[in-house]
Structure 1
């Protein structure tokens, strides 16, 4: 199984492909050096294989490498950040 996470600026999302098929997305909005993650989803056919975590890791690692401040508005992304270290990530937690 070959997985890849890529950023699609024009679609405002990171895309996870598995063997070339779109398996999941993380949607985002860019705001003055900040990337607001708004929604994450893995297709039903791909659930239960840890692909959501692979997608989150790829998206967050890329955003951190770009120097973007991460704003986890999506509950899945927030949960991932609470459980995993993302080297170089600067996180601005939304006010509850």
Structure 2
């Protein structure tokens, strides 16, 4: 019988990402970029195919966003996985800045042009 690997998530500010580790192996990451307002824009999440099917993306994103909330930082979700996650999960205390959809941005531009 083998022991299950220890799963940890850590913030790597040098690389601008949160990483999920199975024991000492980086199995995936979710990237962030700090924008001009100091918000964390999350554009991409990736889990190594060798580790797929284990629910690691959900663990990674959940723990990363929980850490962001604990730090009182604001998230701008761009990554489709994070957008979907946030539409079906709540992270207590998380400040989310939603970007307008293409329809909303188009409507705002039309409204401004008509003024």
Tell me the TM-score range normalised by the shorter chain: over 0.9
Q: How many residues align?
A: 96
Structure 2 unaligned regions, length at least 5:
102-115
Structure 1 unaligned regions, length at least 5:
none
Partners in 1 of 2:64 and 2:42 — Cα distance? 9
Q: How many Å apart are 1:46 and its aligned residue?
A: 0.6
Partner of 1:24: 28
Partners in 2 of 1:64 and 1:22 — Cα distance? 23
Residues 49-96 of structure 1: CA deviation (Å, up to 9, x unaligned) = 110000001110111111111110110011111111101001111111
Q: Matches of residues 16-95 of structure 1 in structure 2 within 5 Å?
A: 16-31=20-35, 32-95=37-100
Normalising by structure 2, report the TM-score. Answer: 0.80
Q: Quick one: higher RCO (CA 8 Å, sep 6+), 1 or 2?
A: 1
Q: Of the two, which has the highest radius of gyration?
A: 2
Point out the structure with the larger helix share. 2
Alignment RMSD: 0.8
Normalising by structure 1, report the TM-score. Answer: 0.95
